[in-house]
Amino acid sequence: MFRGPPKLVRVTYLYLFIVMKKQLFLISLVLVTVFLNGCATIFSGSRQTVRIESYPPGANIEIDGISHGITPATVSMRKSLNATSVVLTKEGYQTKLFSPSQEFDLVGILNIFFWPGFIIDAVNGSMMRFDSPYYQIKLEPVSEAVSSSGTNK
């Protein structure tokens, strides 16, 4: 009477099945990750490091309403299809608001081969890049003719 393969062979088949299942899961995970990212997301990311300096130094930096330290500073800014607003404030000086200009990141051209990547790069802003990695902003002093109450002296 046939009783099937020996116990050692059954354990080996089970082990191979588990190992192959794990490898198939990892391969699937890598493929999903690659195919759900655009070329610009993979190669240049959705953030860019820029240097912000002010004259005089010591101004508070706010990027899209979130504090990012005091000038001079190197900050990581999120790339976006929308304009990013940077606000510099320092006591005794006028508040300075500026929006760093952005341009199309040429790595996004590679999405011509995979159009869903174009959509992904557009949604997360990776297809754009700030055109300058360095911003130097001059702060203007508050006029001494106006007192803190807003009336003229």
Among 91, 26, 95, 21, CA closest to 62:
95
Of 140 and 17, more confident = 140
Q: Read off the pTM.
A: 0.64
Q: What is the pLDDT of residues 21-42, one digit of tens each?
A: 788 888 877 766 666 666 666 6
CB 129 within 8 A of CB 44: yes
At 76, give phi and psi (nearest 5°). -100, 120
Q: What is the pLDDT of residues 53-79, one digit of tens each?
A: 999 999 999 999 999 999 999 999 998
Q: Flag whether pLDDT at 147 surpasses 80.
A: no
Of 114 and 26, more confident = 26
